[in-house]
Amino acid sequence: MKRRDFLKTATVGASAAAATTIAAPAIAQNDPVIKWRCVSSFPKNLDILYGCAEVMAKSVMEATDGKFQIQVFAAGEIVPALQAFDAASANTVEMAHSAAYYYVGKSPAFAFGTHLPFGLNTRQQNAWAYHGEGRQLLETFFKKYNVVALPGGNTGCQMGGWFRKEVNTVADLQGLKFRLSGLGGNIMAKLGAVPQQVGGGDIYPALERGTIDGAEFSGPYDDEKLGLFKVAPFYYYPGWWDGTSLLHFFINQEQWNKLPKHYQAAVTAAAGLSNVDCMARYDVANPPALRRLLGSGTQLRPFSAEIIDAAYKAAMALYDELSAANPEFKALYDSMRRFQAESAPWYQASEYSYDSVVLRQIRR
């Protein structure tokens, strides 16, 4: 090789190597170091629910090479469980992890972020919130409260809760003080019960002291951890007020807008991972937990047809009232019902039919 060609080739190669060496740190240096706080509505002993935020935070940190760190705080460490959304909305913290229907006192339309009694199942709720009309409607609704809401966890269909005594008729619900979130409390009130809003970590002492007569929270795994079976022997199903229970990461709008686009993408992807991971963990944890509860003396009971029918009738009456009084509720409700009606025949022909066939075979 001629000396001139050699020098030219060497110079180009050296320049490329130098560019590579310089470029990587330059790109890294352009990524800001950001530290956020995420307040959870859940105590640490509810490891799957609380863990949703930890899964999200770990994923964001790894995706940004440690530049974007989100520290998770359990309920009560910065704000009480039922004030998590308010903290994010007011920019007290950058992010919260909670259930939208905890905040129906602000507007009944918050229920649609989590679940409407006798509403969508888990897959329908995800479909409506991610790709259906619900996505735009919910984005518009939450924007009023200065937050960006990303789905981030789900319990699936929940149980109907724990009772000190059997409840077979609507008459058995009269005056019964029952812990229940969302619009399910309004419906139970129409049936004569007295709904109570109590954070997850406070349910056991309230039930033990007799401040409440019964309580629902989630499903076997979480309910076992809360120790509810120790003070109320009757365990009812299904949780018709929680046919699914979609959680969200609520992010302060101003803080979200400050993030680089690729950081926003990292948070969005991490929230999606948390959503899938949460449901998968519950599907693994709930079956053995239910077996343990039954082995400890828990008495499993279905709600009677009388109670279910009365609750459904009361729910439809409530939704008519709320639709007439609240345009935001009506828009979300009409959209959800259309989606439910359109998807129900497919679920009946596919998932419901398949599950029924398999369950019959297993029971044989």
Residue 63 has pLDDT above 80, yes or no: yes
- The pLDDT of residue 7 is 42
Q: pLDDT, tens digit, for every residue of 216-255?
A: 999 999 999 999 999 999 999 999 999 999 999 999 999 9
Split at pLDDT 50, 70, 90, the class of 28 is: low
- The pLDDT of residue 24 is 44
Split at pLDDT 50, 70, 90, the class of 332 is: very high
% pLDDT > 90, the chain: 89
- The pLDDT of residue 219 is 97
- The pLDDT of residue 29 is 62
Q: pLDDT, tens digit, for every residue of 69-79?
A: 999 999 999 99
Q: Tokens representing 269?
A: 């992807």
* CATH classification number, 161-243+288-326, choose in 3.40.50.720, 3.90.105.10, 3.40.190.10, 3.30.930.10: 3.40.190.10
- The pLDDT of residue 3 is 45
Q: Where in the chain is the domain with CATH 3.40.190.10?
A: 161-243+288-326
Question: Could you tell me which residues come within 8 angstroms of residue 1 by beta carbon, excluding any fewer than 6 positions away?
Answer: 9
- Give the span between the Cα atoms of 171 and 218, in whole angstroms: 25
Q: What is the mean pLDDT of the chain?
A: 93
Q: Where in the chain is the domain with CATH 3.40.190.170?
A: 32-156+244-284
- Tell me the backbone φ, ψ of residue 148, rounded to 5 degrees: -100, 130
Split at pLDDT 50, 70, 90, the class of 349 is: very high
Q: pLDDT, tens digit, for every residue of 181-214?
A: 889 999 999 999 999 988 888 899 999 999 999 9
Residue 25 has pLDDT above 50, yes or no: no
- The pLDDT of residue 199 is 82
Look at 181 and 112; give whichever has higher pLDDT. 112
For the segment 22-36, the average pLDDT, to the nearest whole number, is 71
- The pLDDT of residue 200 is 82
Within the chain, residue ranges assigned H as helices are 3-30, 47-63, 84-89, 122-130, 133-143, 184-190, 203-209, 220-226, 253-258, 261-295, 305-325, 327-347, 353-363
Q: Is CATH 3.40.190.170 correct for 32-156+244-284?
A: yes
- The pLDDT of residue 30 is 84
